[in-house]
Structure 1
Amino acid sequence: MANPNKARGTMWESAVRNWLNAFLGLVDDDGVFLNPFDGMNVRRPAQEGARDIGDVHAVPFILECKDVKSPAVPTWLRQARVEAVHAGFPYGVVVHKRRGLGTRSGRVHFDVRTWTRTRTALGLSSRVMFNRYGFTASVRGLDSGRWYLTTDVQRFAALLSDIRAGVPRDVR
């Protein structure tokens, strides 16, 4: 691959995909899908050109993966929302690599609307959602379109597993 930035981004997308598949128990010890036809496998889809459908599909989320030094989270979240619509998925989030740390420490950013819809689907109060999945909030200014909530890849994987279970969770 001639473009080193593209190669770095592709490696990050693959690392996120591989880590989530392992966490969810969808692959064997060698990273081979247990059932290659399972729609729940986390995958990197082929790019669709002008109607991009996200970097990684982890049903019901599309993940827009970013491996850059300077974050632009609100812009990325708008991109993730559009790509989720293109892919026909209900949720779009951003996974931002943290320099010098492993995949599980990457940052997963939710816009307020996606976070609220996910919380509601899980049947959780805001406080329980924050505590259970380790979210922090970034609230800047009066424009709620620029607000977002963040957790790490490991806690996002637990949230993904819970939402895939399709059963509202009790308050523990």
Structure 2
Amino acid sequence: MSNPNKAKGTAWESSVRDFLNRSLGLVDAAGKFLHPGSGDNIRRAAQEGAKDVGDIHAYPFVIECKDVKNPAVPTWLRQAVAEAEHAGFPLAAVVAKRRGFSPGVARVHFTVSTWRAIRDLLGTPVDDAAALYGAIYSARGLDTARWYVTVSLADFADLLADVRGAHAVR
């Protein structure tokens, strides 16, 4: 790959995918899918051009992965929400790499409306959900479009398992 930034992004996407597949028990010790055709497997999405469908599909989430020095979380979240709509997925998240740390401590960001949808699906009150998944709330000024919720990638893996369990019941 001749573009070093693209190679860095691809490596980060693969790390996130692999971490989630291992955390959810979807792969064996060698990293091979236990059930290759399962829709539960976390996969990197093919690029779609103007109608991009996100970097990773972890149903019901489209995940946008970011490995950059300067964060722009509200902008990234708008991108992730648009890509989730393009892919036909109900939820969107952004995973931002923390340089020098393992993938499990990466930051996973949600819009406030996505966080509310997650809590509604799980039937979990705000304080209980925050404690259960280690959520941190960021309110940037009076513009609620710039507010977001953050958890670690390790906590997101637990949240994803819980959401999938609750989603299957419905």
The interval holding the TM-score normalised by the smaller chain is over 0.9
Instruction: Tell me the equivalent position of 2:118.
Output: 118
Corresponding residue of 1:64: 64
- Give every structure 1 segment of 4 or more consecutive aligned residues whose post-TM-superposition deviation is greater than 6 Å: none
Deviation of 1:16 after TM superposition, in Å, equals 0.3
Q: What stretches of structure 2 of length at least 5 have no aligned partner? A: none
Post-superposition offset of 1:167: 6.8
Give the drift of 1:155. Answer: 0.1
- The Cα of 1:140 is off from its aligned counterpart by 1.3
- State the alpha-carbon separation in 2 of the partners of residues 151 and 35 from structure 1: 28
Q: CA RMSD in A?
A: 1.0
| Secondary structure, aligned partner of 2:65 | strand
- After superposition, where does 1:23-62 map in structure 2 within 5 Å? 23-62=23-62
Partner of 1:152: 152
Task: Provide the residue aligned with 1:134 in structure 2.
Answer: 134
Q: Using the alignment, how far apart are the partners of 1:167 and 1:160 within structure 2?
A: 10
Q: Which runs of 5+ in 1 are unaligned?
A: none
Distance 1:167 1:128 in 2: 19
Seq. identity, %: 57
Q: Which letter does structure 2 place at the counterpart of 1:69?
A: K
Report the Cα distance in structure 1 between the residues aligned to 2:10 and 2:105, rounded to whole angstroms. Answer: 18
What residue in structure 1 maps to residue 79 of structure 2? 79
* d(CA) in 1 for partners of 2:166, 2:136: 24
| Distance verdict in 2 for CA 1:39–1:28, change over 3 Å | same
User: In 2, distance between residues paired with 1:134 and 1:157?
Assistant: 12
- In structure 2, distance between residues paired with 1:53 and 1:140: 27
Q: Which moved more, 1:18-27 or 1:159-168?
A: 159-168
Aligned residues: 168
Task: Determine which structure has the larger helix proportion and give its number.
Answer: 2
Q: 1:2: Cα distance to partner? A: 0.9
- The aligned residue for residue 143 of structure 1 is 143
Residue 45 of structure 1: how far off its partner (Å): 1.3
User: How far does residue 139 in structure 1 lie from its aligned partner after superposition?
Assistant: 0.5
**1:2 is the counterpart of 2:6:** no
In the alignment, the residues of structure 1 paired with residue 3 and residue 72 of structure 2 have an alpha-carbon distance, to the nearest angstrom, of 21
Cα deviation, 1:54-107, whole Å, max 9, x if unaligned, reads 000001001000000100000000000000000000001100000100000100
Aligned AA for 2:74?
A: P
Partner of 1:109: 109
With the length of structure 2 as denominator, give the TM-score of the two structures: 0.97
Give me the whole-angstrom Cα distance separating, in 2, the residues matched to 1:86 and 1:44: 15
TM-score computed with the length of structure 1 as normaliser: 0.96
